[in-house]
Amino acid sequence: MLFHVQSMYMDSTYAKGLIMNIDSVALDNPFILAPLAGYTDLPFRLLCREAGAGLVVSEMISCHGLIYGQTQTRSMLKTVPEERPWSVQLFGSEPESMGQAAALVSAMPVDIIDINMGCPVPKVVKKGSGSALMKPENLGRAEAIIRAVVGNTTLPVTVKFRSGWNDASIIAPDFAQMCEAAGAAAVTIHARTWAQQFGGKADRLVITAVKQAVSIPVIGNGDILCYEDGLEMMQETGCDAVMIGRGALGNPWVFQPDGIPETLAGRLPVIRRYLELAEQHLDTAHLLFRIKNHICRFLSGLQGAAAIRQEIISCSSLAEVEAILRENS
């Protein structure tokens, strides 16, 4: 057994006190895998569920890509029963298309729909999606989007957003209240502004303020690099759960107390498990690229990792990747 966290959560009195619900969806661990474009593919989501994540979220899904039946978008929605509960994150700028996308997702084996109102990437923001919906002039449209999604599904709807547009516009508590009034079952607050992007430090006081402003579950996000960081955020802010993004890359151990192994030998079983899951669930066109991406993350911080990473990046087949791992085990 690669991870022992599942049985630990079943048996721990303390952990039982941390079990939470998002509407009718029960999470057996309040540590959640965030949506990460290019990374939270099905194999990685499954790996994180095996590591103890209470909920996993898809890569962000374009509402237009879904409506128009784009092959790549549809492939990102592939799932298996073992990963449930799982959430699909939608992004878009128009209430009507977001409502249509929500209706399509509702016909799939999905547990929660999440709305992305926090992505700071320029190409997303320029189209009026993601963090752009936190601009003062777009707040009415943000509310209309939430109401459209809620009105087109029976699934719980959550919203992920940031502290605000910039330091002069920290609106997260009011924004959370708007989300709740519009029908959201929970909110996730990344405690940085759009202007910060991923720099600076997440402001936990904003998470505390959001928690005090609403009665629905609040999920904290930002700067969680280990299990202890997550517990500390929950204790400091009173938030009901934490969502882990970049801190989970190459580190599914973040969802359990034991921490990341400090040697390649300690990490290899999980790396091989990801390879196994990737071979099962990824199409051949994306298989090698995704495997290289994830394995390079798994090797981070290890002695001699740079040389191994360079070898793996140069590989032209999965067999070559496996051979390099054998040589270094």
Binding residues for FMN: 89, 160, 190, 245-246
How far is 281 from 40, CA to CA, in rounded Å? 13
Tokens of residue 249, six digits: 């890359």
**Identified catalytic residue from 119, 179, 239, 296:** 119
**226, 255, 284 - which closes a domain:** 255
Residues 180, 31, single domain; the answer is yes
One domain for residues 251 and 269: no
* Pair 269, 217 in one domain: no
Mark which of 199, 221, 255 sits at the end of a domain. 255
Collapsing DSSP to helix, strand or coil, 101 comes out as helix
Domain boundary among the residues 255, 284, 312 is at 255
What span, in angstroms and rounded, lies between the C-alpha atoms of 81 and 74?
17
Residue 119 annotated among the catalytic residues of the structure: yes
126 and 168 co-located in one domain: yes
Q: pLDDT of 157-181, one tens digit each?
A: 999 999 999 888 899 999 999 999 9
pLDDT tier, 16 (very low <50, low <70, confident <90, very high otherwise): very low
User: Are residues 75 and 160 both part of a single domain?
Assistant: yes
* Same-domain status, 171 and 295: no
- b/e sequence 272-294, b meaning 16+ C-beta within 10 Å: ebbbebbeebbeeeebbebbbbb
Shared domain for 244 and 285, answered yes or no, is no
Pair 272, 178 in one domain: no
Domain that includes residue 39, residue range: 5-255
- Identify whether residues 86 and 140 lie together within a single domain: yes
Binding-site sequence positions: 89, 160, 190, 245-246
Residues 202 and 240 both lie in one domain:
yes
Q: Are residues 144 and 112 part of one domain? A: yes
Of the listed ranges 1-10, 65-74, 114-123, 228-237, the least confidently predicted one is 1-10
User: How far, CA to CA in Å, does 244 sit from each of 37, 101, 124, 159, 292?
Assistant: 14, 25, 21, 15, 21
CATH code, domain with 18: 3.20.20.70
User: What's the pTM?
Assistant: 0.91
Task: Count up the domains in the chain and report the number.
Answer: 2
Mean pLDDT value of segment 22-51? 95
Q: What is the pLDDT of residues 286-299, one digit of tens each?
A: 889 899 999 999 99
